Chains A and B, each alone.
Chain A
């Protein structure tokens, strides 16, 4: 079965949601930098609270070929939910056409149009680096939606991490890509 892809858009609104400490803001930064490499306008914001670890953490990215006026996401095209809480908060948006990537490891047994469950956390554990689930998710999102080109994502990841950390993180991104190419889609 061939992978269905989102049609390429001039504007993307993305929410990356999960728990503080999962590296979602870093993911948003990497995604934004990849979009800048493509000459796009980008605005990246985050919920900024007193709870850094645990608790709901949300990072937003808007990518547009035009000037971005209002800085917050209003009509998300893509949501990444890395915890059950985040999934519960956003899942109803799938009905309105938002593509929701969620961590199957944490929120199993969810089905429906525009819901895409992938084993981010389990794959990260398989990789021997639980903290790289965010990059696996980013790889999967890029592979599925082409919100940014994989080559630009890889270029930014290469620049972002130290030599010691690069190999694992690069593996994580490619693992995310593999999750998509090996995926049999339910929708």
Chain B
């Protein structure tokens, strides 16, 4: 078959996340449309059936994530997309996916809250919700795009991490990046690595769904196959059945953390711009990273040596990278669209309480501009 190479086309962030998911092999979407993520549902409803996949509009977000977890256990790469109110509703079953080690991807296109808040306006205030939204001890992986290309690439990456480590991965986008359009070329098949989950090779009778290999991850069979297995949200042993033994619980909680911790160098993705000789370090993520890069450039034109460390992975936190980048700088600035400085606080933990971190915060539904950052830079 002759295939024509994909051409650069104008694409919206939400569309790019959808195409990223499909490229990664997602063939199941269950969701409840909500601004500013609705275009993902819309696009999936058109494209999924064409690829032999399934699109279901559920009655709410609780059911959506439940369906996603079920579909994944049945062998499909599955995902959903939502925004703040829906993401809140998904937390309980997302916790189930953590405990039962079910790969899945949840896209949370952040809008301004709390609650229904400014429903059509952007925010970056769900950073801590992504990390700690569920009860109980756990690690989590969360990625954050700033361009349409990153919307695609990080969605593929989210599925890869999710499948490789049997974890839910959260893609933390925002209204601006989700609705923005840029030129983007969908990669050809094979151009970007796509990872499949490990499947059991043992005899079905020998299969234990939580018996981990050396990498801390157990092969995952599919419901409906010859492998019959039990999945529980309660503390369980390698066979999947309830197990209240403290030795077992210790092992399980450690394993949930360590399968992420041990691979953190692979999972933590950052990009740096002009940080080698920088006196001023801007730590930024999502749409605000673009304003930060523009501000750093303007700063350089005004004689201030500024550089940017962009966090594409929010969780696990880029502590090593920030520690290194901040060693020689005089000033650290963290711009973000929330009041509390959700990432600034984490940066403070890395650099210690004695170092001053300048914060740039907006929480009125308006974006942070390069001038907002420059003003703090030149203060």
Query: Which segment, of B20-28, B287-295, B334-342, faces chain A?
Result: B287-295
Q: Which of A41, A44, A49, A71 contacts B287 (CB 8 A)?
A: A71
Contact A44–B180 (Cβ < 8 Å): yes
How near does chain B come to A100, taking the closest CB pair, in angstroms? 23
A33-B10, A42-B10, A70-B370 known; A49-B120 Cβ under 8 A? yes
Q: A165 in the interface, Cβ–Cβ < 8 Å? A: no
Count B interface residues, CB 8 Å: 23
Q: Are B183 and A41 neighbours in the complex by a CB distance under 8 Å? A: yes
Chain A residues in 8 Å Cβ range of B299: none
Tally of A-B residue pairs with Cβ under 8 A?
A: 58
Q: Is the CB of B8 within 8 A of A69?
A: no
A33–B291 Cα distance when bound, in Å, is: 24
B370 and A71: CB pair below 8 A?
no
Taking a contact as CB atoms under 8 Å apart, the answer to whether A45 and B179 are in contact is yes
Q: How far is the CA of A55 from the CA of B287 in the complex (A)?
A: 26
Which of the residues A44, A45, A46, A50 comes within 8 Å of B119, measured between beta carbons? A50
In the complex, whether B242 has a CB less than 8 A from a CB of chain A is no
Chain A hits for B138, CB < 8 A: none
Beta-carbon contacts of A18-57 to B below 8 Å, as 1s and 0s?
Answer: 0000000000010011001000111111101110000000
- With contact pairs A69-B297, A70-B369, A71-B290 given, residues A46 and B179 touching in the complex (Cβ less than 8 Å): yes
| Shortest Cβ-Cβ A-B pairs, 9 listed | A70-B294, A44-B181, A69-B294, A69-B293, A36-B183, A33-B10, A32-B10, A45-B180, A48-B120
A interface list, Cβ under 8 A from B: 29, 32-33, 36, 40-46, 48-50, 68-72, 74
Extra pairs beyond A42-B10, A42-B182, A44-B181 (8, CB < 8 Å) = A36-B10, A40-B183, A41-B182, A44-B182, A48-B120, A48-B121, A70-B290, A71-B290
Give B residues with C-beta under 8 Å from A: 8-10, 36, 119-121, 175-176, 179-183, 287, 290-291, 293-294, 297, 367, 369-370
